[in-house]
Amino acid sequence: MRLAHALVLAVTLASGAAAQHPSPHAIDIPPWFAETLLDFRDDVRDAAKDGKRVMVYFGQDGCPYCTQLMKVNFAQQRIVEKTRKHFVAIALNIWGDREVSWVDGRTMSEKELARALKAQFTPTLLFLDERGAIVARVNGFYPPHRFEAVLDYVAGKMESKRAFAEHMRAVGPDEANPKLADEPFFLKPPYDLRRKPGARPLAVIFETPYCTACDEMHAEGFTRASVRRQLDRFDVVRFGLAERTGIVTPQGEKTTAAAWAHALKVSYAPTVVLFDGGREAFRIEAYVRPFHLAGGLDYVASGAYRKEPSFQRFLQAQAEKLRERGEPVELWR
């Protein structure tokens, strides 16, 4: 089912303000999220005593992907029951000022912790094991069946059996195009991706067949004028996650597309890895709508990532410029 259609099924969740009142969040947090003192050493230990693991959620105000997580995934009874059975869910604000003690004993604010953990997307979810180690990370919104696969991986303590990226590649297919869609601006073989002096930055797109988010990126993202303007600033190449095509990476290594994706720890389709001058500058590894896709490309093409380490602050500044010019800012359309 496409995300746009899934919105029709969304229901309003009960407000979690009473449980999470010390700090504002992107939207109402479900009341079953835990209220703790935000000392994650204690939280991890207490969860382990109950046979559970900790799920840390980073959100922010006005985040449509956070809304999707809460009103699509956490509106499905099976997902809620599985999450409550196996996890202690704790919500943090990516811009929040509450004091947090992380698992290594460092004390800082929510926003400082977000920076330390490189939470560039919202929602970002971190799943911790009984020692406080991060065993899985979810950047952005995962559709329900993929999100449930994450829960199964962590709850089943499968990290000792196979890598998270491998597990996610094995998740059943979406109801989507069985073939990879093509675009006229994709580079053609041979794929020598080494960057020459003065070359444009490189956008490497990893996709899979049967991927509804990939289909939406082609049908809605790549057809949007704002996205196409940014793509024109890049050399763009696309590979399947399991593709055995021979390539030369920006660092000059000869390998295959599949082996490179594995080395880059790509676990979600689509993922867009952006290279500037031969090194990775930023990646878009979350379900994003055209506004955020264009913003991610501009973040690298403009060189803004060198001066502004927070992608979210960059996006906020770009949105404010559009509003000042009287142009609409459509985060979800």
Q: How confident is the model at residue 268 (pLDDT cuts 50, 70, 90)?
A: confident
Measured between alpha carbons, how far is residue 199 from residues 67, 163, 203, 247, 278 in Å?
39, 35, 12, 18, 10
Q: Is the predicted pLDDT of residue 328 greater than 70, yes or no? A: yes
Q: What is the pLDDT of residues 63-88, one digit of tens each?
A: 889 988 998 899 888 999 999 999 99
Q: How confident is the model at residue 275 (pLDDT cuts 50, 70, 90)?
A: very high
Residue 186 counted as domain residue: no
**Is residue 51 domain-shared with residue 138, that is, in the same domain?**
yes
Three-state DSSP class for residue 72: coil
**What predicted TM-score, i.e. pTM, was given to this entire model?**
0.79
Residue 262 counted as domain residue: yes
Q: How confident is the model at residue 27 (pLDDT cuts 50, 70, 90)?
A: low
- In the chain, the N- to C-terminal Cα span, in Å, equals 17
Last-in-domain residue among 134, 169, 204 = 169
Token pair 């006005």 is at which residue? Answer: 62
| Mean pLDDT in residue range 283-292 | 88
Residue 111 counted as domain residue: yes
Residue 299 counted as domain residue: yes
Residue 123 preceded by cis peptide, ω within 30: yes
**Is residue 11 domain-shared with residue 154, that is, in the same domain?**
yes
| Mean pLDDT in residue range 47-52 | 98
More confident residue, 78 or 151: 151
Q: Which pLDDT score, from 0 to 100, does residue 28 have?
A: 75
Classify strands 271-276 and 99-101 as parallel, antiparallel or unpaired: unpaired
Last-in-domain residue among 116, 138, 169 = 169
Measured between alpha carbons, how far is residue 13 from residues 17, 73, 136, 329 in Å?
11, 11, 26, 26
Backbone angles phi, psi at 106, to 5 degrees: -70, 140
Q: Which pLDDT score, from 0 to 100, does residue 15 have?
A: 30
**Is residue 163 domain-shared with residue 195, that is, in the same domain?**
no
Residue 90 counted as domain residue: yes
More confident residue, 165 or 7: 165
Q: Which pLDDT score, from 0 to 100, does residue 285 have?
A: 85
Q: Which pLDDT score, from 0 to 100, does residue 240 have?
A: 93
Residue 185 counted as domain residue: no
Residue 143 preceded by cis peptide, ω within 30: no
Specify the CATH number for the domain of residue 308.
3.40.30.10
**Is residue 164 domain-shared with residue 283, that is, in the same domain?**
no
Last-in-domain residue among 169, 203, 230 = 169
High-pLDDT (> 90) share of the chain, %? 70
Q: Which pLDDT score, from 0 to 100, does residue 71 have?
A: 86
Q: Is the predicted pLDDT of residue 324 greater than 70, yes or no? A: yes
255: domain range? Answer: 191-324
**Is residue 73 domain-shared with residue 204, that is, in the same domain?**
no
Q: Which pLDDT score, from 0 to 100, does residue 211 have?
A: 85
Residue 210 counted as domain residue: yes
Q: Which pLDDT score, from 0 to 100, does residue 11 have?
A: 27
Tokens of 26: 């992107």
Q: Is the predicted pLDDT of residue 16 greater than 80, yes or no? A: no
**Is residue 95 domain-shared with residue 196, that is, in the same domain?**
no
Residue 247 counted as domain residue: yes
Q: Which pLDDT score, from 0 to 100, does residue 8 have?
A: 28
**Is residue 9 domain-shared with residue 39, that is, in the same domain?**
yes
* Number of domains into which the chain is organized: 2
Asked if residue 112 lies in contact with residue 39, where contact means CB atoms within 8 angstroms, the answer is no
**Is residue 117 domain-shared with residue 222, that is, in the same domain?**
no
Tokens of 71: 């009103």
Q: Is the predicted pLDDT of residue 23 greater than 60, yes or no? A: no
Q: What angle do CA 242, 245, 247 make, to 5 degrees?
A: 115
Measured between alpha carbons, how far is residue 6 from residues 69, 76, 249 in Å?
12, 12, 38
**Which residues, in sequence order, are CB contacts of 306 under 8 Å at separation 6+?**
none
**Is residue 149 domain-shared with residue 8, that is, in the same domain?**
yes
**Is residue 198 domain-shared with residue 301, that is, in the same domain?**
yes
Token pair 């939406």 is at which residue? Answer: 216
| Mean pLDDT in residue range 166-184 | 87
Q: Is the predicted pLDDT of residue 288 greater than 80, yes or no? A: yes
Three-state DSSP class for residue 273: strand
**Is residue 199 domain-shared with residue 134, that is, in the same domain?**
no
